Amino acid sequence: MEWDAELYDGQHGYVGAYGEELVQLVREEAAARGEGAEPLRILDVGCGTGAHLDALGEIGAVTGADSSAAMLEKARRAHPDARLVEADACALPFEGAFDVAFSNAVFHWVPDQVALLKSVAGALADGGLLVAEMGAHGNIARIEEGYAQALRKHSGDYAGRFCFPKEPAYRRLLGIAGFEVERMEAAGRPTPLAGGRAGLRRFAEQFFAKSLALYRDAERAAVLDDFEQACEPDLWDAEAACWVADYRRLRFTARKVRSVRGAGGMDQLSVLGS
């Protein structure tokens, strides 16, 4: 999809803010290596506009990779000295080059999880650590349900494009890709959206942009009106005057313990049950 970098930072800055706890796990990896160890070589997979580049740069030598030219352009303006690479997460142009692969709120956007994990594993040195957080099973379930209801009223169908896995299935997929999971947890994180009444609409304009683009302006506005109406009973907080997204997150660290070719005879559908 085409990302609106300004809208993303202005409306969804909470994504980067919640990533601080994830950065702390990278700090712990650096501390575990002890004083005198070489600085960590860190790859920020899906770095976006660079929300974590400064914090990661305090820990080691960081490289940011993202497939969106618009996101990288904003990252370059904010971080002119950063090493940034335009690259697909499923085809990272690195081999054994990093000690840590970091990723926040990116993996669930990637349709081919097998290719993604193989690519990330290939970029890591032997013994390298993957530190990541993504949407868990049930993430934005009410939002997706409300959006699907709105589309049906306008002769449309909603085909969810996200990968929000269950914990056991994703643990298994990581193992197939050559990782050994060190920690993994799924938890709810109800998240207030910025923008007051407009917050849910702006969420849709960013994250459902592809399907909304199929409608002319007037009907698109009607779809968004119906979307808000469907979600209001469960997601509008009248006291706080904001929408609250029904987020669930899956956070994990996984160590690269072997290099693999192929996917061990398993495909994504059989593992994740998609």
Type of residue at 240: A
**List of domains in the chain:** 5-138+161-190+246-259 (3.40.50.150)
- Helix, strand or coil, per DSSP, at residue 54: helix
Gyration radius of the chain's alpha carbons: 19
18 pLDDT tier (thresholds 50, 70, 90): confident
Q: Is the pLDDT of residue 268 over 90?
A: no
Distances (CA, A) of 70 to 135, 182, 200, 262: 23, 34, 23, 32
Other C-beta atoms closer than 10 Å to the C-beta of 204 total: 22
Q: Taking the complete model, does pTM exceed 0.75, yes or no? A: yes
Distance, in Å, from the CA atom of 246 to the CA atom of 243, rounded to the nearest integer, reads 10
Share of the chain above pLDDT 70, in %: 90
Distance, in Å, from the CA atom of 136 to the CA atom of 178, rounded to the nearest integer, reads 21
pLDDT tens-digit readout, 25-59: 999 999 999 988 999 999 999 999 999 999 999 99
